[in-house]
């Protein structure tokens, strides 16, 4: 199943992709919670009910071409990010392979959806792109064993970890979080694909195109820490909750590593494509 959040007359609503249309499942059946996060909180039985409602629906349909997207979980409580998590990107950066996951965070105010604009802040001149696989938590938990970690995953989505390199790397103390969490610096979408449709999240081609030119092209088999290891590690620190988003790191080809460097500019269009998950497209302004 593909779950999205779209704008409706009543505000952001959970929607299920059926064919070339998105079904507002709360609009069809008001007993269904209106948001994706609340649906995930309801567990597998509610998720199955939502899928059945969407398949039967004849009304409350919005063509994909006309939909205004938010991030699939537009009201996520936590947005956790993993740094230097691709072998080939660590080599590109000249960094040692991490022995443990490197963590930072974005605030939920960074989240935007498919087709929404990445806004360049006037205080940064070095805004970079990073294609990422995003894990969406379905079942919460603390101290989750790696052996059962994938039971806690609702699904996966394309993500874009937009990064102000001058803030991240040139400020006193290297301000990773501030460089990563400007408003609009967390595009996710266009939808989350439920885990049952992603047999192995560690065998997916991942790409980023800038104005049609391929800048990043790798595979999630390059992940240093896979989904089970990430969830086991971070759940030692804090409780994971349904709807939490985890950006899992980026492959090589980022703008700052190029000679000369390539940074985002107004008028650019960035596209993140991950095998089986769709294409996340965002203009830059």
DSSP states of 208-249: EEETTEEEEEEEGGGBSS-HHHHHHHHTTTS-B-TT-EEE--
Region 79-283: CATH code: 3.90.850.10
All structural domains of the chain with their residue ranges: 2-67, 79-283
Mean pLDDT of 217-226: 97
Local confidence band at 97 (pLDDT 50, 70, 90 cut-offs): confident
Local confidence band at 91 (pLDDT 50, 70, 90 cut-offs): confident
Local confidence band at 256 (pLDDT 50, 70, 90 cut-offs): very high
129-178: pLDDT as tens digits: 999 999 999 999 999 999 999 999 999 999 999 999 999 999 887 788 89
- pLDDT value of residue 174: 79
Are the C-beta atoms of residues 277 and 204 closer than 8 Å to each other? yes
Local confidence band at 85 (pLDDT 50, 70, 90 cut-offs): very high
pTM: 0.97
pLDDT of 90 > 80? The answer is no
Percent of the chain residues past pLDDT 70, beyond the cut:
100
pLDDT of 106 > 90? The answer is yes
pLDDT of 228 > 80? The answer is yes
13-33: pLDDT as tens digits: 999 999 999 999 999 999 999
As given in the structure block, the two tokens for residue 26 are 């709360």
As given in the structure block, the two tokens for residue 34 are 């209106």
Residue 221 CA to residue 225 CA, distance in Å, equals: 10
31-71: pLDDT as tens digits: 999 999 999 999 999 999 999 999 999 999 999 999 999 99
**Nearest residue to 204 (alpha-carbon basis) of 131, 256, 106:** 131
Averaged pLDDT score across all residues of the chain: 96
User: Parallel, antiparallel, or unpaired: how do β-strands 186-194 and 111-112 relate?
Assistant: parallel
Q: Is the peptide bond before 45 cis (omega within 30 degrees of 0)?
A: no
- pLDDT value of residue 92: 76
pLDDT of 94 > 80? The answer is no
Mean pLDDT of 211-229: 97
Mean pLDDT of 72-81: 98
């Amino acid at each position: 199943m593909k779950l999205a959040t779209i704008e409706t007359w009543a505000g952001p609503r959970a929607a299920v992709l059926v064919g070339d249309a998105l079904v507002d499942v709360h609009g069809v059946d008001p007993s269904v919670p209106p948001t994706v996060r609340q649906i995930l909180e309801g567990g597998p039985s509610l998720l199955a009910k939502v899928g059945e409602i969407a398949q039967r629906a004849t009304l409350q349909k919005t063509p994909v071409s006309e939909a205004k997207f938010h991030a699939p979980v537009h009201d996520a409580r936590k947005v956790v990010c993993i740094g230097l998590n691709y072998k080939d990107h660590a080599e590109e950066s000249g960094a040692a392979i991490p022995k443990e996951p490197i963590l930072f965070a974005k605030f939920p105010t960074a989240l935007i959806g498919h087709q929404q604009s990445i806004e360049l802040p006037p205080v940064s001149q070095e805004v970079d792109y990073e294609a990422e696989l995003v894990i969406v938590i379905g079942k919460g938990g603390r101290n989750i064993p790696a052996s059962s970690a994938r039971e806690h995953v609702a699904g996966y989505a394309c993500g874009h970890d937009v990064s102000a390199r001058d803030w991240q790397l040139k400020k006193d103390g290297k301000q990773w979080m501030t460089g990563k969490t400007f408003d609009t610096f967390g595009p996710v979408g266009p939808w989350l694909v439920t885990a049952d449709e992603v047999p192995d999240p560690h065998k997916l081609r991942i790409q980023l195109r800038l104005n049609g030119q391929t800048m990043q092209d790798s595979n999630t088999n390059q992940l240093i820490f896979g989904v089970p290891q990430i969830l086991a590690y971070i759940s030692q620190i804090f409780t994971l909750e349904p709807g939490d988003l985890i950006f899992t790191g980026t492959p090589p080809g980022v703008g700052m590593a190029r000679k000369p460097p390539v940074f985002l500019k107004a008028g650019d269009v960035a596209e993140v494509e991950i095998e089986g998950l769709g294409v996340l497209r965002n203009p830059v302004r």
